[in-house]
Amino acid sequence: MTARRRVRATLVAWAVGAGILRLSLWAPEVCPSLTAAEARAAAVDSAGWIVANQAPDGEYLYAWDRDTGEAVDDYHLGRHAGVTMSLYQLAVAGELDLVEPADRGLEWMLDRLRPTVSPTGEPAAAFTEGRTAKLGAAALLAVSLAHRRLATGDTRHDETMVALGRFLAGQQRPDGSMLNLYSFADDGPVPDETSIYSTGEALWALAMIHEALPAAGFDRIAWTTLDYVTISRDEVEGYAPQPWPDQWAAYSLAEMAEWGLDDHHVDYARRLIGRYAGIVRFDAQRGTTYGSLTHGPVPRGSGVGTWIEGLAALRTLTVDPRLADLDGPTAEVLACGAARLAERQVEPGDDVPPEEAGAWFYAGETRMDDQQHAASGLLGAEPVLP
Amino acid sequence: MTSAILAFLVAVNPAASARAFTRDRRPDRPVAIAIGAAIAVAILVALAAASETLLDALDLSAGTFRLGAGVVVAVTGLRWLVLGPSEGVAEPDSGRALSGFVAFPTLLTPGAAVLAVTVRLSDGLGTAVVGASVGAAAGAAALLWRRRVPVVIGAALVRIIGAAAVVIGIGIGVDGVQTM
């Protein structure tokens, strides 16, 4: 082969390679614009879907299939608690009209409180309808109560919050890991079963209870679980990719930041920011026609919402000098993700049914946690938006 | 700095540079080879200097580009590892053509090009310049001294460095996933 032919062949190979990269890994990242006011409006519309479809007894519409025009009945206590928590988050941000429907959702949960046996023998309680109680449902009920306290200043549920805290503490193992289920038949935790979500939910709940009621002393329990989550949880419980994108852990870190985080907590936060940034960037590459083909379908609203929630919580940590270098980049990627999330929302209108207005649909279906996580994420993104 | 230099070295693969030409009896032309290396370095430095403009034009963030850069380095390394060096070409007669061929495609490999951009973004222009210069100088030196290395050893070195490129490329790609 002559040198000239080799140069030509190499140029062709470079062009083909660059083209393949442009269609795949290097597809452009498309970030629409979104203002803080638009994000707030989208979050409120999302809450509007939750409220418009809430039953008088406080139960929410679980899911809606717009192709069949029918509700999907597969109710989930943890998601009920999460949706209520999200309404209270908006109330804390000033949307006080949402306290009343959130309170109805709260009463629905309080009707399902059941006493449990705590290791200390003090009164404890879990949120359940069955013979077992889930850690995550009780945790998000406690977080709802803590947000309600912040929004209203009402302290009437403080004892319940502490009882829930004792239940959560009773599920903790010595290494900080949290058992997912409590058995009423055995009056104790079900051994050996953990949950990918519940550990972080319980950690956040313990941190928020401590913030509200420091005398209860749940900070010690929270520290042990935070160490477990940040040092060994993903490895021990076999989660991948690591760090597992856990927005509940992100919320927990944000809550506990003022207590004084150690270097290994900060290192975990840095890695978690990187994880979320990578996910949001990948999603942004779906913004072109060919990017949407090479990067697969957009995940459901709840999935994208959790990324934005996680990033929003972690961004508050960048006031720490150890993470200050990530402040601008985190804000940038958070704004991009929030804008992409908002543009997929069904805008309310006169001809839009209440089961669709303000919702995020995935494969023809919307579920209550789509609205929950999207609303919480958009609310969290507000500070970085113009 | 050290990791960046190592990355440029495996991306250029001096052992592959040494196999760019079929063996003949003509005298060495170090000046033409040096000029070719200088051209390659100049292009790599220009790419590094223009990295932010380039990423803006492509609508890519540094992390996304780095992920792709890692894949490019790994894939070119895999090619060397599996297929060995490319078949050598007849050495151009004119010094100008020789310099041009040394610059591209001998020293200006796909891996070196993407590294120039991503190293500039992660480690700064100085590191990118040093890394590109060391990589190109090593490739040029290997080309100049190609007759001193037995063919079998040279071919084995191409594959060994290719394997290193695979490892380093994967590392760069993984880092890219978490780069802001």
Q: How many Cβ atoms from other residues are within 10 Å of residue B30's Cβ? A: 12
Residues of B in Cβ contact (< 8 Å) with A25 = 64, 67-68, 71
Q: How far is A92 from chain B (nearest CA, A)?
A: 31
Where does the pLDDT of residue A82 fall: very low under 50, low under 70, confident under 90, or very high at 90 and above?
A: very high
Is A15's Cβ below 8 Å from some Cβ in B? Answer: no
Query: pLDDT at position B154, please?
Result: 87
Residues of A in Cβ contact (< 8 Å) with B17 = none
Q: How many Cβ atoms from other residues are within 10 Å of residue A318's Cβ? A: 20
Searching chain B, which residue's CA lies closest to the CA of residue A327? B180
Residue pLDDT, tens place only, B80-129: 999 998 888 888 889 999 999 999 999 999 999 999 999 999 999 999 99
Is A29's Cβ below 8 Å from some Cβ in B? Answer: yes
Query: pLDDT at position A76, please?
Result: 93
**A6 and B68: CB-CB below 8 Å?**
no
Residue whose tokens read 């999207």: A374
Q: Which stretches of chain B score pLDDT less than 50?
A: none
Q: How far is B56 from chain A (nearest CA, A)?
A: 10
ipTM score assigned to the predicted complex: 0.92
Query: pLDDT at position A250, please?
Result: 98
Residue pLDDT, tens place only, A336-373: 999 999 999 999 999 999 999 999 999 999 999 999 99
What are the b/e assignments for A288-317, b being 16+ CB within 10 Å? Answer: beebeeebeebebbbbbbbbbbbbbbbbbb
Stronger pLDDT, A119 or A67, i.e. the higher one: A67
**A21 and B87: CB-CB below 8 Å?**
no
With an 8 Å Cβ cutoff, the interface of chain B facing chain A consists of: 58-61, 63-65, 67-68, 71-72, 86-87, 89-92, 97, 100-101, 104-105, 110, 177-180
Handedness of CA B24, B26, B28, B29 (dihedral sign): negative
Instruction: Write the secondary structure of chain A as one string of H (helix), E (strand) and C (coil).
Output: CCHHHHHHHHHHHHHHHHHHHHHCCCCCCCCCCCCHHHHHHHHHHHHHHHHHCCCCCCCCCCEEECCCCEEECCCCHHHHHHHHHHHHHHHHCCCHHHHHHHHHHHHHHHCCEEEEECCCCCEEEEECCCCEEEHHHHHHHHHHHHHHHHHHCCCCCHHHHHHHHHHHHHCECCCCCECCEEECCCCEECCCCCCCCHHHHHHHHHHHHHHHCHHHCCHHHHHHHHHHHHHHHHHHCCCCCCCCCCHHHHHHHHHHHHHHCCHHHHHHHHHHHHHHHHHHHHHHHHHCHHHHHHCCCCCCHHHHHHHHHHHHHHHHHHHCHHHHHHHHHHHHHHHHHHHHHHCCCCCCCCCCCCCCCCCCCECCEEEHHHHHHHHHHHHHHHHHCC
Residue B88 CB-density burial (10 A; 0-12 exposed, 13-18 middle, 19+ buried): middle
Where does the pLDDT of residue A271 fall: very low under 50, low under 70, confident under 90, or very high at 90 and above?
A: very high
Q: How far is A37 from chain B (nearest CA, A)?
A: 26
Instruction: End-to-end CA distance of chain B: give it in Å, rounded.
Output: 20
- Average pLDDT, whole number, for chain A? 96
Q: Which whole number is the average pLDDT over A251-280?
A: 97
Chain A, window 309-328: residues with a beta carbon less than 8 angstroms from a chain B beta carbon: 326
Query: pLDDT at position B152, please?
Result: 86
- Among A10, A29, A271, the residue with its CB nearest the CB of B60 is A29
Query: pLDDT at position B146, please?
Result: 86
**A6 and B89: CB-CB below 8 Å?**
yes
For the record, the structure tokens of A168 come out as 């959560």
**A275 and B178: CB-CB below 8 Å?**
yes
Query: pLDDT at position A12, please?
Result: 96
**Chain mean position to CA B78:** 14
Q: How far is A277 from chain B (nearest CA, A)?
A: 6
Q: How far is A292 from chain B (nearest CA, A)?
A: 15
3-state secondary structure of B21: strand
What are the b/e assignments for A124-147, b being 16+ CB within 10 Å? Answer: bbbbbeeebbbbbbbbbbbbbbbb
**Of A182-196, A224-238, A257-271, B137-151, minimum mean pLDDT range:** B137-151
Residue whose tokens read 């949880």: A233
d(CA B5, CA B10): 9
- Among A6, A25, A329, the residue with its CB nearest the CB of B71 is A25
